[in-house]
Amino acid sequence: MKKIDVCLSPEMVHLHKTEGKVVVVIDILRATSCMTTALANGIASITAVATLDECLALGKEGCLTAAERDGKKVEGFDFGNSPFSYQDPALKGKSIVVTTTNGTQAIVKSAGAKEILVGSFLNFTSIVNYLRSQPNDVLMHCAGWKGKMNLEDTLFAGAVVDALKGDFSHDEDSVLTALNLFYTAKNDMMGFLLNSSHVRRLQGLGIIKDIEFCLTKDVYDVLPIMRDGKLVAQ
Amino acid sequence: MKKIDVCLSPEMVHLHKTEGKVVVVIDILRATSCMTTALANGIASITAVATLDECLALGKEGCLTAAERDGKKVEGFDFGNSPFSYQDPALKGKSIVVTTTNGTQAIVKSAGAKEILVGSFLNFTSIVNYLRSQPNDVLMHCAGWKGKMNLEDTLFAGAVVDALKGDFSHDEDSVLTALNLFYTAKNDMMGFLLNSSHVRRLQGLGIIKDIEFCLTKDVYDVLPIMRDGKLVAQ
């Protein structure tokens, strides 16, 4: 049987083998929710980079730029990290280069995987169906917050493991942790997360609407996948 | 109000400030349960070292030696990692040098803390009472398994945070994770842990009796604390 594992933070991904696996990068609030939204709304490709300098350099070559640090848009870039800013029809066909506090770092650290996807509640069933249909082991790679684990990414990982039971086996305590958190939270994720550090941080930034949207299941059926160093809709 | 935090693995301890804090090192199965048992049974001091070579070197200076790797006693050392081996009255007053797969690494990585304790269910109330009575912030440092988090250490951290509510505040998602796991498991910890990776690993070694003992609350009222590089009973 195929195996599924959960890495709770990029700080621990070196302890998990990524070679030969499909890695699903998860940054629910909000990088991978934004990327899903952008590709579902017709953005042609997304390049994820670790640093602001790399982002600016690619911007000069004609990409739109998006940069977030500490939950806020960085001055001098075209976009921040709100999913709603990617629903503009004028962006259709454009290419974007993105750097965020956690999500893009996790993508960069997933290099070496057989395939890299980005997942969010917004495209939950697309992710689950793809993982079920393909032959490889899976690593759910939570972006966390500045190296530490967070609840919302772990909950999503648990939700995917739960949806795939019967198709995948698992044997790591991080998977049982994600599953148990999901079972505790699943009937009221917003209520559960209102206690979490990152949601409190984002509430302080006045973006509760973003959070509610990012917890909504199956708004889009897009599958964001890395091809030649760029995320595109499969 | 004093703050309490949980570090889920030594691999992440550099993300948590240890300076000025009391750090409680947790390796329930079985290093810190053994250390608690040893000190409660009259062992004078325990030196925790990271490597087998350091352990052998101190052994030549007259200490008894204990070494565990992958759950098993290492050949050529006096003891392995079973708490029952430390209940021998003949050991009273002796000094021991110990190296284990996870627990002693976590102790070594806690250097820099204001105080270092080791905790286990066996001395649960002693740990809780001490943390409540002293003025410093606390970090519960889970030893995990080879860098990854594990359920049993996280459960203990959650149990301590729960017992200290009202005395300590917290704001990290790792603390909420530990608390939620504890609430899920608290009425049947053995049943909960039978699914965990490390318990399955230890069951394979035929030491279910050790596991049951290590999950027993308040067998001892000893407080193991680091003084001049050695763990002693306060």
Q: Residue A145: list chain B partners with CB under 8 A.
A: 173
Q: Across residues A216-228, what is the average pLDDT?
A: 97
Comparing CB atoms, the residue among B12, B145, B148 nearest residue A148 is B12
CA A161 to chain centre: 16
Give me the pLDDT at residue A71, please: 82
Interval B83-117: pLDDT, tens: 999 999 999 999 999 999 888 889 999 999 999 99
> Is residue A232 one of the residues assigned to a domain?
no
Give me the pLDDT at residue B72, please: 87
B6 in helix, strand or coil? strand
What gap in Å lies between CA A39 and CA A70, rounded to an integer? 24
Tell me the average pLDDT of chain A. Answer: 94
What gap in Å lies between CA A221 and CA A193, rounded to an integer? 25
Instruction: Specify burial of residue A201 (Cβ count, 10 A radius: 0-12, 13-18, 19+).
Output: middle
Range of the domain at B114: 2-226
CATH number where B95 lies: 3.90.1560.10
Interval A180-220: pLDDT, tens: 999 999 999 998 988 777 777 777 766 788 999 999 999 99
Give the least confident one: A48-62, A113-127, A212-226, B192-206. B192-206
**Length in residues, chain B:** 234
* Phi, psi values for residue A225, rounded to 5°: -135, 145
Query: Is B54 part of the contact surface with chain A (CB cutoff 8 Å)?
Result: no
A169, B136, B227 from B4: Cα distances, Å: 35, 9, 22
Give me the pLDDT at residue A98, please: 95
> Is residue A187 one of the residues assigned to a domain?
yes
Q: Residue B11: list chain A partners with CB under 8 A.
A: 11-12, 15
Tell me the two tokens of residue A137.
């082991």
Give me the pLDDT at residue B4, please: 98
Interval B67-89: pLDDT, tens: 999 888 999 999 988 999 999 99
Hey, are the CB atoms on A15 and B148 less than 8 Å from each other? Answer: yes
Residues 121 through 180 of chain B touching chain A, CB cutoff 8 Å: 145-151, 154, 171-174, 176-177, 180
- Listed residue (B128, B141, B107, B94) closest to B229, CA to CA: B107
Beta-carbon contacts of A8 under 8 Å, excluding residues fewer than 6 positions away, are A142, A144, A149, A154, A174, A177, A178, B8, B149
A65, B42, B72, B81, B87 from B29: Cα distances, Å: 49, 21, 12, 9, 17
Q: Across residues A25-30, what is the average pLDDT?
A: 95
Give me the pLDDT at residue A206, please: 65
Q: Across residues B142-158, what is the average pLDDT?
A: 96
Query: Sorting pLDDT into bands at 50, 70 and 90, what band is B206?
Result: low
With contact defined as beta carbons under 8 Å apart, do A177 and B174 qualify?
Answer: no
> Is residue B76 one of the residues assigned to a domain?
yes
Name B225's bridge partners.
B117, B232
Give me the pLDDT at residue A163, please: 98
What gap in Å lies between CA B82 and CA A18, rounded to an integer? 35
Tell me the two tokens of residue A86.
């990617």
> Strand A72-73 relative to strand A138-142: parallel, antiparallel, unpaired?
unpaired
> Is residue B103 one of the residues assigned to a domain?
yes
Task: Give the ipTM of the model, two decimals please.
Answer: 0.93
Q: Residue B195: list chain A partners with CB under 8 A.
A: 176
Give me the pLDDT at residue A215, please: 96
Interval B3-57: pLDDT, tens: 999 999 999 999 998 999 999 999 999 999 999 999 999 999 999 999 999 999 9
With contact defined as beta carbons under 8 Å apart, do A177 and A81 qualify?
Answer: no
Give the least confident one: A32-41, A136-145, A160-169, B205-214. B205-214
A30, A59, A67, A68, B17 from A44: Cα distances, Å: 19, 15, 18, 21, 43
Interval B153-164: pLDDT, tens: 999 999 999 999
- Listed residue (A45, A98, A95) closest to A69, CA to CA: A98
Give me the pLDDT at residue A194, please: 84
Give me the pLDDT at residue B202, please: 72
> Is residue A234 one of the residues assigned to a domain?
no
Hey, are the CB atoms on B147 and A176 less than 8 Å from each other? Answer: no
With contact defined as beta carbons under 8 Å apart, do B192 and B184 qualify?
Answer: yes
> Is residue B10 one of the residues assigned to a domain?
yes
- Listed residue (B12, B41, B1) closest to B157, CA to CA: B12
Tell me the two tokens of residue A83.
């999913």
Domain count, chain B: 1
Percent of chain A with pLDDT over 90: 85
> Is residue B147 one of the residues assigned to a domain?
yes
